[in-house]
Structure 1
Amino acid sequence: MFSPLSPRLLSTALAVALSAGVPAALAAAQQDASRPSAKEGAPEAACKHAVKAALPNPGSFKWVAATARQIDKDNYSVVADVEYLAQDGAVREAKVQCDVRRAQGNRFAVPKLRLPH
């Protein structure tokens, strides 16, 4: 039959089980905190899509890094470093800037785009 466990043994087993799960839960929480949410990354994604479509050779386009700054409630400024294959065949590095605004339906539009010359 079933033998009852002593309260001390039960509390020790519970403490061991809980302490084993704490590091994993803490690591998962730290990883989630460092990862930007989709909402935070949306202005950068809109800028990336617009820049890729505007530059020559979109297949050779590389988005290196970006910084987004919220100007007001619905407007953002995104500055990014990109690498692309120019029309002369040379790989170029450049800074681009996008003005991004939140449009209807929580979508993001890029009304102004500053590309390298």
Structure 2
Amino acid sequence: MLSPLSPRLLSAALAVALSAGVPVALAAARQDASRPAAREGAPEAACKHAVKAALPNPGSFKWVAATARQIDKDNYSVVADVEYLAKDGAVREAKVQCDVRREQGNRYAVPKMRLPH
């Protein structure tokens, strides 16, 4: 027959179990607080996909470098250097700019692009 645990032993075991979980919970809360609200690089990726689709010869498109700046909580400006194959067959280098907006569910839309002529 099993002997019942004394209330004192049960209280001690409960206190140890709870105190072990506190540092883990604090560490998780700190990590969540330091994590940016959006995935890092998501505005750049949205701009990259939109520019690639808008320029001629998307198979010859190269994203060289980009800088994203957060305008306000849900709006970003992305400026990038790209290389692409123009309609005349020449490889061109250009700067592009995208206005990127975060939408519901951490999805990103590009309402406006400034492409080379």
Would you say how many aligned residue pairs link Structure 1 and Structure 2? 117
For residue 5 of structure 1, report the CA deviation from its aligned partner.
35
Q: Distance in 1 between matches of 2:5 and 2:91?
A: 71
- More displaced stretch, 79-88 vs 37-46: 37-46
Per the normalisation by structure 1, the TM-score is 0.68
- More displaced stretch, 26-35 vs 62-71: 26-35
Correspondence for 2:87: 87
Percent of paired sites with the same residue:
91
For residue 104 of structure 1, report the CA deviation from its aligned partner.
1.2
For residue 40 of structure 1, report the CA deviation from its aligned partner.
1.6
Q: Distance in 2 between matches of 1:64 and 1:14?
A: 57
Relative distance call for 1:91 and 1:24 in structure 2 (3 A) is farther
Relative distance call for 1:83 and 1:7 in structure 2 (3 A) is farther
The structure with the largest alpha-carbon Rg is: 2
- More displaced stretch, 1-10 vs 90-99: 1-10
* 1:25-44 aligned within 5 A: 39-44=39-44
Per the normalisation by structure 2, the TM-score is 0.68
C-alpha contact (below 8 Å) 2:38/2:106 kept by paired residues: no
C-alpha contact (below 8 Å) 2:69/2:77 kept by paired residues: yes
Output the aligned Cα RMSD.
5.2
Structure 1 unaligned regions, length at least 5: none
CA deviation vs aligned residue, 1:13-64 (integer Å, no higher than 9, x gap): 9999999999999999999999999712000000000000000000000000
Q: Which stretches of structure 1, 4 residues or more, deviate above 6 A after TM superposition? A: 1-38
Structure 2 unaligned regions, length at least 5: none
